[in-house]
Amino acid sequence: MTVFWEKGFHATSLKDLEASLKMKPGSIYAAFNSKEQLYSSAMKYYFEAARDSFRDEMARAPSPLVGLADHIRSYANLPTDHPGRQVCMLLKTIVDTQTTEPALSRQAREHLRDIRAQISAVLDEAKRQGELPTLANCNRLARRFQANLNALRVELHQSDGTDDLTDLADDMACEVEGLRDSS
């Protein structure tokens, strides 16, 4: 998965896959049928790992909004060589494959929608617990949260490590905390 995440679908060569998987081309194709199928499997693995990690993090949080705020802050504290500081593999896939591999692009969009649904579910729980006003539009808030998180990851990705993006992450987290119903 890492080689695809780092290079993208089109820039990843068969030689890259051989080195990463420690397999010969024939074995790669026997196991996965095609580069597209291997990429699809890697993307599914990436999505499931991200989803499961997010669920675990939210389950441990003292409250839904605290969990979301802490989640966004956590990215700025990652070491500069941590993969989480890269642009999301799903976003990268959409940009890389939109016109050339529509099935992969469609799969990436579906995974992003699923992640947004997970965020929306957390916000729904915040509403049930009284953290959000009853009129809060959780789908809209989830889209904004996801957009902010993706923007932060773009900033982290292009940073050479000298930029302190803690303030940016904190601003985004404070937006989440500011949603709290004060009535």
Task: Residue 99: give its domain's CATH number.
Answer: 1.10.357.10
Q: Model confidence at 13, in pLDDT bands (50, 70, 90)?
A: confident
The answer to the question of residue 12 being in a domain is no
Q: Model confidence at 160, in pLDDT bands (50, 70, 90)?
A: confident
The answer to the question of residue 113 being in a domain is yes
Distances in whole angstroms, Cα of residue 77 to Cα of each of 55, 82, 125, 157, 177: 20, 10, 26, 13, 19
pLDDT at 80: 83
The answer to the question of residue 161 being in a domain is yes
The answer to the question of residue 13 being in a domain is no
pLDDT at 29: 78
The answer to the question of residue 3 being in a domain is no
- Confirm if 148 and 121 have CB atoms less than 8 A apart: no
Distance CA 39, CA 70 (A): 31
Would you say residue 183 has pLDDT above 70? no
pLDDT at 53: 95
- Confirm if 171 and 152 have CB atoms less than 8 A apart: no
- How many independent structural domains does the chain possess? 1
Would you say residue 179 has pLDDT above 90? yes
The residue written with tokens 């499931």 in the block is 48
pLDDT in tens, 73-117: 999 988 888 888 888 999 999 999 999 999 999 999 999 999 999
pLDDT at 178: 95
- Confirm if 160 and 150 have CB atoms less than 8 A apart: no
The answer to the question of residue 168 being in a domain is yes
The answer to the question of residue 89 being in a domain is yes
pLDDT in tens, 141-154: 999 999 999 999 99
Query: Residue 137 is part of which domain span?
Result: 43-177
Would you say residue 32 has pLDDT above 90? no
Look up the pTM and report it.
0.90
In terms of C-beta distances under 8 Å and separation of at least 24 residues, what long-range contacts does 79-86 make, across chains too? 80/159, 80/161, 83/2, 83/5, 84/153, 84/156, 85/153, 85/156, 85/157, 85/159, 86/5, 86/6, 86/153, 86/156, 86/157
The answer to the question of residue 4 being in a domain is no
